[in-house]
Structure 1
């Protein structure tokens, strides 16, 4: 499969199955477009037949290209075929037949230490931290059992990840600290290493939180939606949803600046959500950079289609243009030495993830689980509260292997829309929770989200090409 596109003046050809990216001139770009329906996918390198060469050459001549240049382009195509970097056959589907039988271990937990929150974000999928259930804080005893479960079910895997999540996890800070200490106490005897992370809205950050996180948290995600007026409209304090008089921006931004300045080389992300209210979201990403934040992310809202802030299909042209604008400015700042990182523009074209991750993504329901304050297991944080996906709990362990097996088989070849999509090995089929929310199936896709993902991948590849130019 070949994917071709033009972005920021670059002619880009992606050989999907090999992952090879070629930045070409217009002649080569047109030659490959003519060649694809004639050559298709090749199991192993072959010589292009004279008949195919003649047909491609005739098409290029009709476009006004010179005979000598056409010969060179055809030679380049043959060379890339010989190197197995063009028109390659898909070999990954062979792995799928063993996916259900594939032995998996649990390697990550999302601990919902607080089903409660001190903000009332309008788009919150967690219903202001309650997850459509009851407000609750995780006890140390439940968290301790969850960590014991992780160690016991992680097999020979040494590196384990635990994300403290909510609601707002800092509302249960004393338990977070105790669980980190307990996790550290398990490491040596069990030959494990915990990577702790935290996601917070920042309201309760203080010097103690900063110091502790800098010692113990491998990554901290700091929520902020951008410019003050944008953030405060969507992220007010509780009780201020109607007729917002004040928001969280002035409270959290000074804390974030102090936190990030003290963070040194340790990872963090300023993470925002854009809605229909700020389709000019590139200005919010650039606002992060102007505040001095170098590690940024901005995600499209996913919500009820009846909400005024929800992105609609009609917004796609504007959003696509916005990603292009952001990519150009991002590239300009990188070249000027004033760059920052934007999560969706970071792409590894040389190594990338393992085959299993390429095909099935995040590992929800198999390698990654969410744990509620009372100890129930769900496939991920977005399935919490959906009783049909209750996998077990910290006392009984995983008792619904059938659900885990269903998630094991949730891969790009099980999704008809993914089979012919150039982005499938980059997005790994997208989010199963979004698929279920919009279609009632784990093996469909959230169509609007797919279009945005494809655009971000195109921009990321263009940036790689431009920086290597």
Structure 2
């Protein structure tokens, strides 16, 4: 499979199955879609009004050489090995600990219903968290590196338990030859110097929630009485990011139908000094006034293109920043079967409620259809686990022929279920935006390589 597109003046050709990317001139770009179905003479006849015969001949030879080298028109040889890969024993490598089903903000788009997750407000006890870490260790097999994300609601509302669980985890590392990678997601309201110092010592990554410009952020992320939270959190986040040397964190925002000019929010965050930025599209019911609408897509596509071009300009000027959805590894990254099989929700990655119930991920919490077990008894709904284990791009009809499948891994199972009632379906709006982000990310890589030359 070959995917071709033009972005910010670059003619880009992606050979999907090999992962090879070619930045080509116009004549090669026009020859490629004709190459496999037409002879050299036929291609010349089809393109002679646009190019000279010599240009066409040289382009055909170049394309033929790329095919011979195995970097163009390569076959898909991954489906059968992926099936074998998915048959391997399941080990749990990561937990999302819902340390607090409570929150001190009332974000309008919150899927967790202000932290309650379709249930009751609750804080995780040390005993439940301890059992969760024990469950993770016991089900991690020979895997040494384990991940635990302190999540909510707002996890800093239960910070004492966070500290106790980190201390317990450090003790268990020595006993079981494991290493915990702890992360924290916070809205910043309760952030202070002591918490920053602790996080800098113990947290491998910290996610700081902010949506961008003051008017955008305050509209969607107010306190429960209506006041905005921007002015309170921005100085804290700036100090925190600086204290982490602008590494191992990112500011994470959500854009909605109300700010389809979201690139301005990304650049606003960059201008505040943040170097690690993620601003992602809201996922919402069509009836929500802030939901992304189909008519928004052309505007959003242009926003991504403009943002990519600005990132290239800023990088060249020496004041670049990272944008999470444009960060793709074209040379390394996860093995191909990991890329094709998704995030690991329901198998390698599980969410834990304050009372110890296990769900496939944080977005399924509260939906009893997806209750998998608990930290004391383990996974008891093995049928559901097998269902998630079989969730991959070849099991999804719309993914099989999509050029982005190696980069998005089939998209979010929760979004697929919430929109179509089936984890093997696809969330169309998310797919369209993901494909545009992949195209922009590749363009940025091409531009960066050109700058290095």
Aligned position for 2:12: 12
Any unmatched runs of 5+ in structure 2?
none
Using the TM superposition, give the Cα deviation of residue 96 of structure 1 relative to its aligned residue in structure 2, in angstroms. Answer: 3.3
| Counterpart contact for 2:246–2:276, Cα < 8 Å | no
Q: Deviations over 1:395-444 (max 9, x none)?
A: 11110111110001100000001111100111000000000000000110
1:298 aligns with 2:279: yes
Cα distance change of structure 1 residues 265 and 306 upon mapping to structure 2, 3 Å threshold? closer
1:434-445 matches, cutoff 5 A: 434-445=415-426
Corresponding residue for residue 147 of structure 1 = 133
CA shift, 1:238, in A, is 1.5
In the TM superposition, residue 239 of structure 1 has moved relative to its aligned partner by 3.1
Question: Offset at 1:194?
Answer: 0.4
Shift of 1:100: 4.8
Identify which of 289, 304, 317 aligns with 1:336: 317
In structure 2, C-alpha distance between the alignment counterparts of 1:340 and 1:164, rounded to whole Å: 26
In the alignment, the residues of structure 2 paired with residue 306 and residue 252 of structure 1 have an alpha-carbon distance, to the nearest angstrom, of 30
1:419 aligns with 2:391: no
Equivalenced residues, count: 450
**In structure 2, what is the equivalent of residue 458 of structure 1?**
439
CA–CA separation in structure 1 for the residues paired with 2:333 and 2:179: 23
Aligned counterparts of 2:410 and 2:346: Cα–Cα separation in 1: 15
How big is the shift at 1:52? 2.1
TM-score between the two structures when normalised by the length of structure 1: 0.95
Please tell me whether residue 361 in structure 1 is matched to residue 342 in structure 2.
yes
String of CA shifts for 1:133-169, please: whole Å, max 9, x gaps.
0000000000000000101100110100000000000
Of 366, 389, 403, 1:408 maps to: 389
Q: CA deviation at 1:58?
A: 2.0
CA deviation after TM superposition for structure 1 residue 35, in Å: 1.6
Q: 2:240 aligns with which of 259, 266, 289?
A: 259
CA distance in 1, matches of 2:392, 2:443: 27
CA distance in 2, matches of 1:190, 1:7: 50
> Given the alignment, which residue of 191, 200, 206 partners 1:205?
191
Q: Residue 365 of structure 2: which of 384, 395, 398 is its match?
A: 384
Give the root-mean-square deviation of aligned CA atoms. Answer: 1.0
Task: List per-residue Cα deviations over 1:330-365 (Å, max 9, x = no partner).
Answer: 110011101011001111111132123211111000
SS at match of 1:4: strand
1:99 Cα deviation from its structure 2 partner = 4.8
The CA distance in 1 between the partners of 2:437 and 2:352, in whole Å, is 31
Q: Which runs of 4+ in 1 moved over 3 A?
A: none
Q: Match for residue 346 of structure 1?
A: 327
Asked if 1:134 corresponds to 2:123, the answer is: no
Counterpart mapping for 1:291-330 below 5 A = 291-330=272-311
CA contact (8 A) 1:126 1:132 kept: yes
2:410 matches 1:429: yes
Residues of 2 paired with 1:338 and 1:266: CA distance?
15
1:374 to 355, 366, 375: 355
Gaps of 5+ in 1: 39-50, 241-245
Q: Separation in 2 of the partners of 1:295 and 1:434? A: 25
Alignment correspondent of 1:54: 41
Aligned to 1:243: none
Aligned mate of 1:278, from 259, 262, 277: 259
CA distance in 1, matches of 2:267, 2:235: 17
